Amino acid sequence: MLKKLKKLYIDEQLNPKFIGLFINPFYFARKGLYKHVSELIRNLNGKVLDIGCGQKPYQNLCICTEYIGLEIYTPQNRQNKKADFFYDGKNMPFGEDLFDSIISNQVFEHVFNPNEFLRETNRVLKMDGVFLITVPFVWDEHEQPYDYARYSSFGLKHILSDNGFEIIEHRKSNNGIEVIFQLLNDYIYKITVTKNGYLNLIITLFLIAPFNIVGLFLSKILPKNDDLYLDNIVLAKKIKNV
């Protein structure tokens, strides 16, 4: 029973549904990302590389022949991440034109050398290969001190184009009033979070869940605003070597 509850909690953190309204402080951000990634990841196939894979949260959504996770080498990452390969953050340990598809989820803002990162991504991806990348536009500083940038839709288009990619589809996640409620909940979470997981759950239930519910209701009736949103979800393809 305890294992089932733990699995339910983990699932509701990644892909929140009704229960997630009450137990997930990042309800809108996670729900939006999962929705868009789960739809666009269908374009990935063949041999897939997940850069900054973490726990490979979207692997089960990807229909491919091989799914390989890559992480920066640290003792902590080697112990806690599900990566198949580790690297120095600069030179990926793969040959040229090796992968049919690449995904990088909420990683790019932590890359201090973005052009070098994209050139390496281009190098290991086959011509016309698909690249799915997500990156925040409006969000707080996180995973400090390794948080270096935020990207607008125009900034992403420019830097991807400079590094041999053409955008196929660009989506803006949480571009309604829910962006305000998510930022409010993030603020509450940051100032109340403790080392006690059960206490955090109680705080979420009583302080954050009401804003999730109100935000969800208002998001259904108020207009969208493409100038203010949480995350970029971009599907691109490699059109040239750089």
Q: Within 13 Å and on the Cβ side, how many CA atoms surround 166? A: 8
* β-sheet with 165-173: strand ranges across: 85-87, 66-72, 47-51, 99-105, 125-136, 231-238, 165-173
Rounded to whole angstroms, the maximal C-alpha distance in the chain is: 53
Phi, psi of 221 (to 5 degrees): -115, -15
Q: Within 13 Å and on the Cβ side, how many CA atoms surround 176? A: 14
Q: Within 13 Å and on the Cβ side, how many CA atoms surround 186? A: 16
Say what the pLDDT of residue 8 is: 87
Q: Which domains does the chain have, with CATH numbers?
A: 1-42+176-225 (no CATH), 44-172+229-242 (3.40.50.150)
CA-to-CA distance for 230 and 172, rounded, in angstroms?
7
> What DSSP line would sit under 25-75, residue for residue?
TTHHHHHHHHHHHHHHGGG--SEEEEET-TT-TTGGG---SEEEEEEE--H
Would you give per-residue pLDDT tens digits along the chain (242 residues)?
778 888 888 899 999 999 999 999 999 999 999 999 999 999 999 999 999 999 999 999 999 999 999 999 999 999 889 999 999 999 999 999 999 999 999 999 999 999 999 999 999 999 999 999 999 999 999 999 999 999 999 999 999 999 999 999 999 999 999 999 999 999 999 999 999 999 999 999 999 999 999 999 999 999 999 999 999 999 999 999 99
Amino acid letter for position 194? T
Say what the pLDDT of residue 215 is: 98
CA-to-CA distance for 119 and 41, rounded, in angstroms?
22
Say what the pLDDT of residue 21 is: 97
Q: Is 115 helix (H, G, I), strand (E, B) or coil?
A: helix
